Structure 1
Amino acid sequence: MTSSLPVSACVAWHATSWLRGHEPADELTSFGLDLDQLAGLRRSGADGVGIALPRAGDLLGLGGPRELNAAALSVGEAVVGRGIALVPRRQGSALWWEQYDAAPRQVPDLGEADRALRSETLSAAETLARLDVARWQPVLADEFLDLARPDELTGPAGIPAAAVALAGRAGRVLRIAGLGLADDGGAIGSAEMSARREALASLERAARRALVAACSADVWPPA
């Protein structure tokens, strides 16, 4: 299931599957894309799309222009294709997409992002173990241990297994980082708190980079 991913990641995978002829457009219309937007993706000539997961000071997956950057930053995500981008908007249960022009962007390579996530995960685990995370935030410690469990995420037809595996791991690590950054834990000193937040912030960025690579067809190995 792709529902555990950000909606832009789900749409990017299904759009790539559709553009490559693996599935009909029904999945995309179920996510709120209209026929004009589907036609725009087809006219772009690309055989896949990707995502952006920007945060303040880090426009990951975006290359401009300014209007797109601002819109995507306001919701933290976007689907980005060749010359076209779609930004999700919600009101209640309604989901629709605003279309923008998109400039070329730089996205981390799939293998590079995978290696960086593994390295940052190990580094963060070592730092948090040194700070005795299990004592002041046992749930976070349990989540790290749970990373050894195989992920059950599946992707649409035509999505490389390596991309699906990386997306599953990146999503779980993002959840861990978010959990840790949302709570400073028990009574620890300012130095320990700073070290903890620095480790979790680096982990969060590595996980976002990995998820962008896993959901961006332009950096996958040739099929």
Structure 2
Amino acid sequence: MSRSLRHGALAATAIVFSIASMSACSAGNDAQTLQVRPDNAATSVDSIKIQNANVITQPEHDAEGPAVVSATLFNDGDKREILETITLPGSNAQVKLHAAEGKGPIIVPAGGRVIIGGKGNAAAVIENGREATRNGNVQQVVFKLSRTGDIGLGATVVPATTFFEEFGPSSLPELPSPKPTQTSPTPSGESSQTPGVPSDSPSGTPASSTPSDSATAS
């Protein structure tokens, strides 16, 4: 190899190392700087895509309370789908679904998406979450939709900390406040006594009258 070619190769190598060093310095060792996020389960069947699926438990290991399933469901079809159930095969856990507005089914609109988990979103609550699974495991989760049917995937079980804190177990969507029952007030100065019923009658029925002596004598 000629001297000029060797010099060119060395210069190119130096440039590569220089760029790599600058990239490393700008990124640092901070995962947030690198925008690294935990791997979340995702899959797709027909027009339905499920992303960011996780089972999120209480933030403290020994804490009692429910767990939740979090996920985002996309519908690329031209007809809406209804999320009928979420099940956890291999466990006795029951998952209760709650729409974002607190009533009705969870609907995945045509050409849209629905987010499960997090404030203001739909919720999928595992009542006996601590018994259902353990942190660090991969839990099989099956989403049953009205048109597509069952879609299963393995979701990681994580505590409600760091990235998952805002999607973990929390209060359910707020239900509409029931309207207060209005009762007709009794006008002041009027008695609530039933007309024709003497006030001294303890049972609320008219007291029977005893015939007078004069009537008996006649």
TM above 0.5, yes or no, is no
TM-score (norm 1): 0.21
User: Relative contact order (C-alpha < 8 Å, sep 6+): which is higher?
Assistant: 1
Structure number, greater radius of gyration: 2
TM-score (norm 2): 0.21
Higher strand residue share: 2
Higher helix residue share: 1
